[in-house]
A and B are shown apart, each in its own frame.
Chain A
Amino acid sequence: MQLFSKAFWLQFSSPKAFYPFAGKLIPWFTALAAVFAVVGLYLSFFVAPTDYQQGESYRIMFIHVPAAWMSMFIYLVMCIYAGLGLVLNTRLSNMMAAALAPTGAMFTFLALWTGALWGKPTWGTYWVWDARLTSELILLFLYFGYIALQAAIDDPQRAARASGLLAIVGVINIPIIYFSVQWWNTLHQGASVTVTQAPTMAATMFAAMIVMTLAFWMYTIAVALVRVRQLILERERHAAWVLELAEAEK
């Protein structure tokens, strides 16, 4: 029943209380990520059949699509944390937003990288100015801006609030950007290649993609928790409990 009480959740919003709690969660999410990765890779390489059109090259999809999904999902979650941080002024949500950004940027890059390597055998070129690839590239720029702004401001409080506002401005713009890129792409259709998903996807292919997404998701949670713990220690380094903890862990 204590799961439904407000006080139970509020106690974790203090960095000091969250630090050990996150520490307990990390092994679980790491294990989940490993299990999902093993199952997902098995499904992607040994269960999913060869595609009759694209041959084996389509197996890139099993990391490309999950990476692209995660890149957008992480940005959204980051904005929710940033918004909470701005409105409620909770330090922990600001730190969570900051902890997610590098992993989100990494998945965006990986989505672009695997997209390029998938594009070469499929469309005959590494890069096409396809609406989805272009939006993904712009998303990478948005991540860069967020990380750069955070890094440029020394005062952690101001850095968190400024980059939080930037993330929210970005998320308001994402639908507009996506829509514009789509429009731009249909106008210039003659020059580029139309990119279509595999029309019929076998159930095993879909399953492999979902399990790989879960693996990336669990990995992201584990890594973000590790990073947020480091941010807590860094920002609370003048607190007695942090120093005691450092000496205890020696």
Chain B
Amino acid sequence: MNWGSFADFLAMGGYAFYVWGSYGVTALFLLIEVVLLMKRRRTLMQRLLRLARINREGGYESKT
């Protein structure tokens, strides 16, 4: 075990800013990518539903 206490773990031997700055930003970016993908899927589905409704109601878009 490398760490005496939780505070020790957080301090990272004095390199807290660099280590947590790296890990934090990496985690943040991965999270942002996932959230953006989820948001994109939601808007995409709404758009497809609208398209489907137009098709059903005999809109200008022909069914293929």
Contacts and interface: CB of A to CB of B under 8 A. Distances in A.
B26 A63 contact: yes
Contacts of A172: none
B55 A49 contact: no
Interface residues of B, number: 34
A132 interface: no
B7 interface: no
Interface-centre pick from A48, A226, A243, A247 (highest chain B CB count, 10 A): A243
A121 B22 contact: no
A145 interface: no
B18 A234 contact: no
B37 A121 contact: no
Contacts of A230: 37, 40-41, 44
Contacts of B26: 63, 67, 110, 113-114
Interface string A209-248: 0000000000100010011001001100111101111110
B51 A110 contact: no
Given A120-B18, A223-B37, A238-B64, A59 B48 contact: no
B64 A250 contact: no
A50 interface: yes
Nearest to A41: B23
**How big is the A interface, by class?**
35 or more
Nearest to A103: B33
Nearest to A233: B44
A117 B33 contact: no
Contacts of B48: 233, 237, 242-243, 245-246
Most buried by A among B17, B19, B41, B55: B19
A117 B44 contact: no
B18 A60 contact: yes
Given A230-B44, A238-B61, A45 B29 contact: no
Given A120-B18, A237-B48, A249-B45, 18 more contacts: A46-B2, A57-B18, A59-B19, A60-B23, A106-B33, A110-B26, A113-B26, A117-B18, A117-B21, A226-B37, A226-B41, A233-B44, A234-B44, A237-B51, A238-B64, A243-B51, A247-B52, A250-B49
Interface of B: 1-3, 9, 12-15, 17-19, 21-23, 25-26, 29-30, 33-34, 37, 40-41, 44-45, 47-49, 51-52, 55, 61, 63-64
